[in-house]
Chain A
Amino acid sequence: MTHLKPINRKAGRIVEATADQKKDVVALQQGPPQQPQPHFPLGCSLVFSPGWEADSNGGTAGLCQPVERDIFDCHVGCFWPAQVPDQLNHAPDWTAKCASAQKDWRKLDLVFPG
Chain B
Amino acid sequence: MIALTAREFHLFQAAGRDFLYLVPSAAIFALDAPSAAVIRTISERKRAEEAVVAALADRFDAATIRAAIRELLDVRAIGHEHEPAPEARTSRLLPMMPFPLSTMVLNVTNQCNLACTYCYEYGEDKIVDTEHGRQSKFMSERTAHESVEFLLRESGRIAHLTFFGGETLLNFSVLKSTMAYARRRAAEEGKEIDFSLTTNATLLKPEIIDFLAENHVGVTVSIDGPRELQNKFRVFHNGAGSYDIVAPRIKELLRVHRTRPIGARVTLTSETLDIRRIYRHLTEEIGFWEVGFAPVTTSSNQPYAIGEHGFERLLDQFRALAYEFLEQVAVNRHHGFSNVKDTLEEIHKGVSKAYPCGAGLGLLGVSTDGDVALCHRFAGSDAHRLGDVRSGIDRAAQAAFLERHHIDEKTDCSRCWARPLCSGGCYHEAHVRYGATTRPNLHYCEWIRGWTDTCLRIYGELSERNPQFLERFDRDEAKAEAVL
Which residues of A does B touch, CB under 8 Å?
1-11, 13-15, 18
Q: Which of the residues B19, B25, B68, B347 comes within 8 Å of A3, measured between beta carbons?
A: B68
Assuming the contacts A1-B71, A2-B71, asked whether A7 and B34 have C-beta atoms less than 8 A apart, the reply is no
- Determine the distance from Cα of A2 to Cα of B72 in the docked complex, in whole angstroms: 11
Partner of B75, one of A2, A4, A8, A9: A4
Binary per-residue interface labels of chain B (255-267) against chain A in the complex, 1 for a CB within 8 Å, 0 otherwise: 0000000000000
Complex Cα–Cα for A57 and B353 (A): 38
Decide if B208 is an interface residue (CB 8 Å cutoff): no
Q: Kindly provide the distance from the CB of B138 to the nearest chain A CB, expressed in whole angstroms.
A: 44
Q: Which residues in A have their C-beta under 8 angstroms from that of B72?
A: 3-4
Whether the Cβ atoms of A8 and B347 lie closer than 8 Å is yes
User: Do A18 and B31 touch (CB < 8 A)?
Assistant: no
16 more contacts with CB within 8 A, not counting A8-B27, A14-B22, are A1-B74, A2-B71, A4-B31, A4-B32, A4-B35, A4-B75, A5-B29, A6-B27, A7-B30, A8-B459, A10-B349, A10-B350, A11-B29, A11-B350, A15-B75, A18-B75
- C-alpha gap A14/B460 in the complex (Å): 18
Residues of B contacting A18 in the complex (Cβ-Cβ under 8 angstroms): 74-75
A8 lies within 8 A of B28 (CB): yes
Determine if A9 and B348 form an interchain contact, defined as CB atoms under 8 angstroms apart: yes
Asked if A3 and B31 sit within 8 Å, CB to CB, the answer is yes
Assess whether B27 is in contact with A3, with CB atoms less than 8 Å apart. Answer: no
Enumerate the 10 nearest inter-chain pairs by beta-carbon distance, A residue then B residue, closest first: A10-B350, A11-B27, A3-B35, A10-B27, A4-B29, A7-B28, A5-B30, A3-B68, A18-B74, A8-B28
On whether the beta carbons of A6 and B67 are closer than 8 Å, the reply is no
| Sample (24) of A-B pairs whose CB atoms are under 8 Å apart | A2-B32, A2-B71, A3-B71, A3-B72, A4-B20, A4-B72, A5-B29, A5-B32, A6-B27, A6-B28, A6-B29, A7-B19, A7-B28, A8-B27, A8-B350, A9-B348, A9-B350, A10-B350, A11-B28, A11-B29, A11-B75, A11-B350, A15-B75, A18-B74
- Which of A1, A8, A9, A13 gathers most chain B CB within 10 Å? A8
**What residues on A are CB-neighbors of B350 within 8 Å?**
8-11, 13
B462 to chain A, nearest CB (A): 10
| Closest B residue by C-beta to A7 | B28
Beta-carbon contact of B474 and A9 below 8 Å: yes
State whether the Cβ of B463 lies closer than 8 Å to any Cβ in chain A.
Answer: yes
Which of A4, A11, A14 has its CB near the most chain B CB atoms (within 10 A)? Answer: A4
User: Is B106 in contact with chain A by the CB < 8 A criterion?
Assistant: no
The answer to whether the Cβ of B268 comes within 8 Å of any Cβ in the partner chain is: no
Q: State in angstroms the CA–CA spacing of A13 and B29 once bound together.
A: 12
Asked if B254 lies at the interface with its beta carbon under 8 angstroms from chain A, I say no
Q: Which residue of chain B lies nearest to A21 when distances are taken between CB atoms in the complex?
A: B74
Q: Which residues of A contact B349 (CB under 8 A)?
A: 8-10
Within the assembled complex, what's the spacing in Å between the Cα atoms of A10 and B25?
7
Contacts of B470 in A (CB 8 A): 8
Complex-state Cα separation, A4 to B32, whole angstroms: 7
Q: How far is the CA of A9 from the CA of B467 in the complex (A)?
A: 12
Nearest CB on A from B48, distance (A): 19
B68 with A14: CB separation less than 8 A: no
Q: Are A14 and B35 in contact (CB under 8 A)?
A: no
Query: How far apart sit A3 and B474, CA to CA, in the bound complex (Å)?
Result: 25
Chain A residue contacts of B463, Cβ below 8 A: 7
Q: Are B32 and A3 in contact (CB under 8 A)?
A: yes
Task: Provide the residues of chain A in CB contact with B25, threshold 8 Å.
Answer: 10, 14
Judged by a CB distance under 8 angstroms, whether B26 is at the interface is: yes
Residues of chain A contacted by B67 (CB below 8 angstroms): 2-3
B-side contacts of A2, CB under 8 Å:
32, 67, 71
Report whether B26 and A10 are in contact in the complex, using a CB–CB cutoff of 8 Å: yes
A8-B27, A18-B74 known; A3 vs B459 contact (CB < 8 Å): no
Closest to B467 in A: A7
With CB as the reference atom, state the residue of chain A lying closest to B17: A5
> How distant is the Cα of A114 from the Cα of B31 in the complex, in angstroms?
59
A113–chain B nearest beta-carbon distance, Å: 37
Contacts of B30 in A (CB 8 A): 4-5, 7
Q: How far is the CA of A13 from the CA of B463 in the complex (A)?
A: 17
Kindly list chain A residues whose C-beta atoms are within 8 Å of the C-beta of B28: 6-8, 10-11
Which residues of A sit under 8 angstroms from B20, Cβ to Cβ? 4
CA separation between A93 and B34, bound complex, in Å? 58
Min CB gap A52→B, angstroms = 26
The CA of A7 and the CA of B15, in the complex, are separated in Å by: 13
Give B330 Cβ to nearest chain A Cβ, in Å.
Answer: 16
A3 to B63, CA, bound (A): 12
What distance in Å separates the Cβ of B471 from its nearest Cβ neighbour in chain A?
10
- Contact residues of B between 438 and 480, Cβ < 8 Å to A: 459-460, 463, 470, 474
Question: Roughly how many angstroms separate A3 CA and B27 CA in the complex, as a whole number?
Answer: 15
The minimal Cβ–Cβ distance linking A18 to chain B, given in whole angstroms, is 4
> How many whole Å from A6's CB to the nearest CB in chain B?
6
Q: How far is the CA of A18 from the CA of B76 in the complex (A)?
A: 10
Residues from chain A with a CB closer than 8 A to the CB of B460 are 7
User: What is the chain B residue whose CB lies nearest that of A2?
Assistant: B67
Asked if A3 and B34 sit within 8 Å, CB to CB, the answer is yes
Given known contacts A3-B35, A8-B347, A8-B349, A14 and B27 CB-to-CB distance under 8 angstroms:
yes
Contact string against A for B residues 322-359, beta-carbon threshold 8 Å, 1 for contact and 0 otherwise:
00000000000000000000000001111010000000
